[in-house]
């Protein structure tokens, strides 16, 4: 990288101002000392051989767009140590709640969405569910996600977390004010377990997923019928409510089983018009979106937790689909 910078004869790889190259390599330069801090064996970079790179680093860290993202190497090292068994929990930031999550867990995504909707300042610690750190069992005795540390109070179970936050932070309300309508929404969420079960069955099943009897399709048709009955864009009315947010993670993942098995099926827009429309209209859902290709690739290779966020790590995770299924079934409160 030093040689390339010398050949370009500029302060940044992008010229007089940072460009794509600068921004893409910065995170690794910022973390360059983290491995040595974790191992306890410090080392220095040969600054006399990296003169241009040292100047580049000093210039980059003063750029506002970069400066706002910088974290002290010692803190980063502590965070990385927190991912491993026998480690200590990453340090907390004052004034923020903490959500213990996992990127590909639909239950954890529920909690992430509601925290976003309620605009609760929080950080996220993703738990490696294949290699759970010892300290996490002090947070959640069963080692499941999600769990929310809210001002020292630990909340578990995605629906319980969502309902607690809705009561404590009533703006915007996620349930109708009318008691009868609220009870109806709670009943619908209770029935929602059929879709989560169908998703698991579809992952296990060797049957043709293109069939009209596909359990996921049938579950979605039932949800479509309910939305038609309500005559609104969302289950919550003109804007999403508790039903919408509790339902969303499985709609996002609804095609994943077919992508894993290689037997694709499409949701018929003529049969699910209301459902497909409502799924595209809320900005909070974009903030929690994982993406089908990411989900199916992670599913096919096996999920190892937070460290699976790197492309190289993904390519090394060559586990079976059955291993993945057990991961997702055990990832949250799947049996509730």
Q: Same structural domain for residues 51 and 124?
A: no
Query: Which pair of tokens denotes residue 152?
Result: 């020292």
pLDDT at residue 302 above 90? no
Domain termination site, one of 149, 168, 187? 168
CATH number for 67: 1.20.1050.10
Full domain range(s) for residue 30 = 2-76
Q: Which residues contact 89 (CB under 8 A, 6 or more apart)?
A: 82, 125, 133, 135, 136, 139
Same domain, 155 and 227: no
The verdict on 22 and 40 lying in the same domain is yes
| Phi-psi label, residue 15: left if phi above 0, alpha if psi -120 to 50, beta otherwise | left
Mean pLDDT of the chain: 75
What local confidence, expressed as pLDDT, does residue 333 receive? Answer: 42
Query: Any idea what the CATH number is for the domain that residue 155 is in?
Result: 3.40.30.10
Report which of residues 228 and 210 the model is more confident about: 228
Helix (H, G, I), strand (E, B) or coil at 146: coil
Domain stop point among 272, 289, 306 = 289
pLDDT at site 246: 93
Q: Give the H/E segment covering residue 323.
A: helix 321-329
Written as six digits, the tokens of 230 are: 């309500």
Task: Please tell me whether residues 159 and 197 are part of one structural domain.
Answer: no
Instruction: Specify the pLDDT at position 69.
Output: 85
- For residue range 145-187, what is the model confidence (pLDDT) as tens digits? 999 999 999 999 999 999 999 999 999 999 999 999 999 999 9
Query: Mean pLDDT over residues 225-240, rounded?
Result: 90
CA distance 316 to 156: 32
105 is catalytic: yes
What letters, b where the CB count within 10 A reaches 16 and e where it falls short, cover 65-101? Answer: ebeeeeeeeeebbbbbbbbeeebebbeeeeeebbbbb
Structural domain ending residue among the three candidates 54, 76, 98 = 76
Strand partners, 156: 147
CB 81 within 8 A of CB 35: no
**Torsion sign (Cα): 112, 250, 132, 161:** positive
In terms of pLDDT, which residue wins out, 157 or 260?
A: 157
pLDDT at 11: 94
- The whole-angstrom separation of Cα 40 and Cα 335 is 43
In a domain, 134, yes or no: yes
Question: Is residue 304 domain-resident?
Answer: no
| CB of 38 closer than 8 Å to CB of 82 | no
The pTM assigned to this predicted structure is 0.59
Q: Output the CA–CA distances (angstroms, integers) from residue 17 to 12, 23, 58, 132, 141, in the order listed.
A: 6, 11, 13, 43, 50
Q: What's the rounded Cα separation, in Å, for the pair 77 and 102?
A: 20
The pLDDT assigned to 196 comes to 66
What pLDDT score does 82 carry?
60
Q: Are residues 159 and 214 in the same domain?
A: no
One domain for residues 266 and 211: yes
What is the total count of domains within the chain? 3
- Which residue out of 53, 105, 165, 246 is catalytically annotated? 105
Q: Is residue 120 located within the same domain as residue 55? A: no
Q: Are 133 and 85 in contact (CB under 8 A)?
A: yes
- Would residue 15 count as lying in a domain? yes
Q: Check whether residue 284 and residue 197 sit in a common domain.
A: yes
Round to whole Å and give the CA distance between 154 and 97.
10
- Distance between CA 6 and CA 21 in Å, rounded? 15
């Amino acid at each position: 990288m030093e040689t390339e910078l010398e050949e370009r004869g500029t302060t940044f790889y992008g010229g007089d101002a940072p460009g794509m190259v600068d921004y893409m390599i910065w995170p690794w330069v910022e973390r360059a000392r983290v491995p040595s801090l974790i191992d306890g064996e410090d080392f220095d970079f040969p600054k006399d051989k990296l003169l241009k790179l040292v100047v580049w680093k000093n210039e980059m860290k003063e750029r506002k767009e970069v400066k706002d993202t910088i974290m002290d190497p010692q803190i980063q090292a502590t965070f990385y140590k927190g991912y491993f068994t026998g480690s200590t929990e990453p340090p907390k930031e004052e004034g923020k709640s903490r959500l213990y999550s996992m990127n590909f867990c639909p239950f954890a995504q529920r909690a992430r969405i509601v925290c976003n909707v309620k605009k609760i300042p929080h950080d996220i610690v993703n738990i490696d569910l294949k290699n759970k750190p010892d300290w996490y069992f002090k947070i959640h005795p069963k080692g499941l996600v999600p769990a929310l540390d809210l001002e020292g109070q630990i909340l578990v179970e995605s629906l319980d977390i969502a309902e607690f936050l809705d009561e404590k932070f009533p703006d915007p309300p996620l349930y109708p004010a009318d008691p009868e309508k609220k009870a109806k929404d709670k009943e619908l969420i209770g029935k929602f377990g059929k879709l989560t079960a169908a998703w698991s069955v579809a992952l296990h099943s060797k049957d043709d997923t293109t069939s009209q009897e596909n359990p996921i399709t049938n579950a979605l048709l039932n949800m479509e019928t309910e939305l038609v009955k309500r005559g609104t864009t969302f289950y919550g009315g003109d804007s999403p409510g508790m039903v919408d947010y509790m339902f969303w993670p499985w709609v996002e993942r609804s095609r994943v089983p077919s992508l894993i098995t290689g037997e694709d099926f499409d949701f018929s827009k003529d049969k699910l018009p209301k459902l497909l429309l409502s799924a595209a209209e809320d900005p909070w859902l974009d903030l929690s979106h994982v993406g089908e290709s990411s989900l199916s690739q992670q599913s096919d290779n096996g999920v190892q937790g937070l460290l699976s966020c790197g492309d190289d790590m993904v390519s090394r995770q060559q586990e079976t689909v059955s291993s993945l299924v057990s991961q997702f079934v055990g990832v949250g409160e799947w049996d509730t």
